[in-house]
Structure 1
């Protein structure tokens, strides 16, 4: 079943001074099936961050559609957009976006508090997540008291606690050391195997090689895509590296 459908997205920014126009997205179309794990890659300035912001309903395209379960999120009005994000999307950011004045538990609870959920329901959702993500013994600690890997696992718990239709991850391993990155990628693979749909924007070939499909954005369009299929993570890594080299050298895409 198709969960997300992106149709002919275009985004043009007008610069603040001088009125110059910058075309960040030219014509982006793709779809994501329920339960897929998709990575988006591209050079800086390729449009992938703009694309993620539109998918997250943080920005609106100049034209085009973004359909989540058939509903065009581009048309949702500003009053309803925050509630839509909480009910449908989970977010994992490079810099964690945890509040230092809240314990990890309260950070994880925050989207449910904003949705008006009772403490008993919040706690019943948290306990199995905390167990799975190995943060049960640090829930009362504050973000500045734990490691980067622990912060990111708490951020993943916050993303998952609302039972989102889609998890959007923006460079989730970018601020982590190698060991914590490996740990996080294993967690992503596990939750995807349990049915969670994930869309990740990343510069990391290693991170992207864990996805079931990689989309490459170049000059505001989808330049190429790779399906993992029966490939090993190492073979996927090599195919991604080869495609990135083609993009960097300006070559034609491989079919």
Structure 2
């Protein structure tokens, strides 16, 4: 088992009162290596809090997160950046690329921070660039690219460290339908090659590309669906029906 989330709770307390907000309540699930999971829920449901804890950007009040037999909630603050660099890949809705760097240097950045040698960087990029269709973009700068191209570059940056887990936060939110579909198909291909992906999304269409969907409500896992042999269209319809039930409180 690659990832185990065990009875996770997150309670926020205001500084000047005893008022508590429970963002997560007894969240418990497991992720096998090679899975592609989407997490869905309305705003305020707790999905962003969950993603932040998995990204080691926040710590739970109770519970544990075990990634490849290591409890990441117990890693000391001074070692978290290094842990993220070597174990986690991130894809954000706003790309988070630096316009002052070329595409190639943006992709290389996590390896530079990890003090990887240049030949190894080039070797890894030589494999990734054709897979992601960005060979002709490497010497451009992000402001010269379309939204879809920027997200492909962001995916390359997330994959070049060969992470155990890729965390994607609304990766299609800033893209039009065609670019969204291209990106999601790319995610499917990356997952098919063995990469484990956990994606937070509001979109039933985006979630339909995953193998499993977890629905979160009021800080709890409310329900889950498996894609099994369904087509994307069939799975998207089933996801939409479940989201309607979730929002309707049924």
Q: TM-score range by the shorter chain?
A: over 0.9
What secondary structure, in the 3-state scheme, does the structure 1 residue paired with 2:2 have? strand
Work out the CA distance in 2 between the residues paired with 1:73 and 1:103.
33
CA displacement 1:212-250 (0-9 Å, x = unmatched): 000000011100000011111111111101100101111
Q: Which residue pairs with 2:214 in the alignment?
A: 215
For residues 61-100 of structure 1, the aligned pairs below 5 Å read 61-100=60-99
2:160 aligned with 1:157, yes or no? no
TM-score (norm. length: structure 2)? 0.98
For residues 30-49 of structure 1, the aligned pairs below 5 Å read 30-49=29-48
Work out the CA distance in 1 between the residues paired with 2:133 and 2:80.
32
For residues 157-176 of structure 1, the aligned pairs below 5 Å read 157-176=156-175
What secondary structure, in the 3-state scheme, does the structure 2 residue paired with 1:46 have? coil
Work out the CA distance in 1 between the residues paired with 2:210 and 2:189.
11
For residues 88-127 of structure 1, the aligned pairs below 5 Å read 88-127=87-126
CA displacement 1:142-198 (0-9 Å, x = unmatched): 111110100000000000000111100000000011111011001000010000000
For residues 24-35 of structure 1, the aligned pairs below 5 Å read 24-35=23-34
Q: Pick closer, same or farther for the CA change 1:17–1:136 going to 2, 3 Å.
A: farther
2:51 aligned with 1:57, yes or no? no
Shift of residue 20 of structure 1?
Answer: 2.8
Shift of residue 15 of structure 1?
Answer: 2.8
Work out the CA distance in 2 between the residues paired with 1:237 and 1:139.
35
Work out the CA distance in 2 between the residues paired with 1:15 and 1:177.
39
Q: Which residue pairs with 2:180 in the alignment?
A: 181
- Which moves more between the two structures, 225-234 or 11-20? 11-20
Shift of residue 18 of structure 1?
Answer: 4.2
CA displacement 1:92-136 (0-9 Å, x = unmatched): 000001111111111100110011011111011011111111111
Between the two proteins, the alignment pairs up a number of residues equal to 250
Shift of residue 21 of structure 1?
Answer: 1.8
Q: Pick closer, same or farther for the CA change 1:65–1:118 going to 2, 3 Å.
A: same
Work out the CA distance in 2 between the residues paired with 1:17 and 1:136.
54
* Aligned Cα root-mean-square deviation (Å): 0.9
Work out the CA distance in 2 between the residues paired with 1:149 and 1:19.
46
Shift of residue 203 of structure 1?
Answer: 0.4
Q: Which residue pairs with 2:131 in the alignment?
A: 132
